[in-house]
Amino acid sequence: MKRRDGEANTAHPEQDAAASGEKDAAASGEKDTTSQPMPKQTTDVDRLVGVRITALRKARGMSQTALGNAVGVTFQQVQKYEKGQNRVGAGRLREIARLLDVPVSAFFEESEPRANAQEDVFGFLSGQGAIELLRAYAQIDDEQMRRDVLALVRSAARLAQVRETAPPRDPA
C-alpha cells in the first residue's frame, strides 16, 4: 500500500504492487477468482455411495427421516445423498456405516464386472419390491417352503424371459 505522500509502506515493492492490484480489482468490480475454490461436482462414486446407502437403509427397514435424525441432517439431505446430488462427508459416512452396521468400505467396494447388471446386489436391492420380497422370504421358517418359494420365483423369471424373447403374437 502507498501512503498519502506516494511512498511505499514496505521495503518490498512487489508486496505493494500486489496490494494495490487487489485494491484496483476491487475498485473495478472484478472478482479475484484465484483465492476462491471452485465448487466440487458430484461424481459417479458419489452416486454409487448414494445407491448403496439407499439399499442398506432399506434393508434395515429404516426411513430417510430416521437416518437423517440419527446423523443430524434432514430427510431431504438424505435424499440428496442417496441420489448422488450431494457428497457425503467422511465423518458423516462413518456414522451412517455405524448405524447401518456395515464397514465404510461397503459403500465403495467394486464388484466384479458382470455380464448382467441384475446380478449386482445393490442394483437388485434398489429395485421396486426387492426388499419386501427378501423380508417376506426371511420370515419363512420352513426349509421346504423356502425351497418351494425359490422354485416358484425361478419359474416366474424363466417365464418372463421366454415372453421377452418370443416374437409378438398375431392377433388373428
- Please check the confidence at residue 133 and state whether its pLDDT lies above 90: no
Give pLDDT tens digits for 51-72. Answer: 899 988 888 889 999 999 999 9
Alpha-helical regions (H) of the chain: 13-28, 44-59, 64-71, 75-83, 90-100, 121-125, 130-138, 143-165
pLDDT of residue 162: 82
93 CB contacts (<8 Å, ≥6 apart)?
Answer: 49, 104, 107
Question: Do 49 and 85 share a domain, yes or no?
Answer: yes
**Contact yes or no for 65/57 (Cβ under 8 A):** no
Are 99 and 27 in a shared domain?
no
| Pair 117, 140 in one domain | no
User: Quick one: 113 and 60 in the same domain?
Assistant: yes
Give 2's strand partners. Answer: 8
Mean pLDDT within 97-103: 90
Is the confidence at residue 144, as pLDDT, over 50? yes
Residue 96, pLDDT above cutoff 60: yes
Which whole number is the average pLDDT over 107-134?
65
Q: In this structure, which long-range contacts are made by residues 35-44, counting pairs with CB atoms below 8 Å and at least 24 apart in sequence?
A: 40/87, 42/84, 42/85, 42/86, 42/87
Residue 166 lies in a domain: no
What integer pLDDT is reported at residue 123 of this predicted model? 66
Q: Residue 66: which domain range?
A: 44-125
112 and 63 share one domain: yes
The domain total for the chain is: 3
Tell whether 154 is covered by a domain: yes
Residue of 69, 91, 93, 98 whose CA lies nearest to 82: 93
Tell me if 172 is assigned to some domain: no
Give how far the C-alpha of residue 154 lies from the chain's centroid of Cα atoms, to the nearest Å: 31
- Specify the pLDDT at position 141: 92
Q: Are residues 114 and 140 in the same domain?
A: no
Task: Check residue 59 and give its pLDDT.
Answer: 82
pLDDT at 17: 46
Q: What is the pLDDT of residue 43?
A: 86
Q: Residues 16, 85: one domain?
A: no
Q: How far is CA 7 from CA 24, 91, 163, in A?
A: 18, 51, 88
Is there a domain that residue 171 lies in?
no
* Whether residue 152 is found in the same domain as residue 92: no
Nearest to 8 by CA among 17, 81, 146: 17
- pLDDT for the residue numbered 120: 60
User: Average pLDDT of 110-132?
Assistant: 61
Residues 105 and 93 sit within 8 Å (Cβ to Cβ):
no
Residue 95 lies in a domain: yes
pTM of the model: 0.52
Question: Domain for residue 98, yes or no?
Answer: yes
For residue 108, what is the domain's CATH number?
A: 1.10.260.40
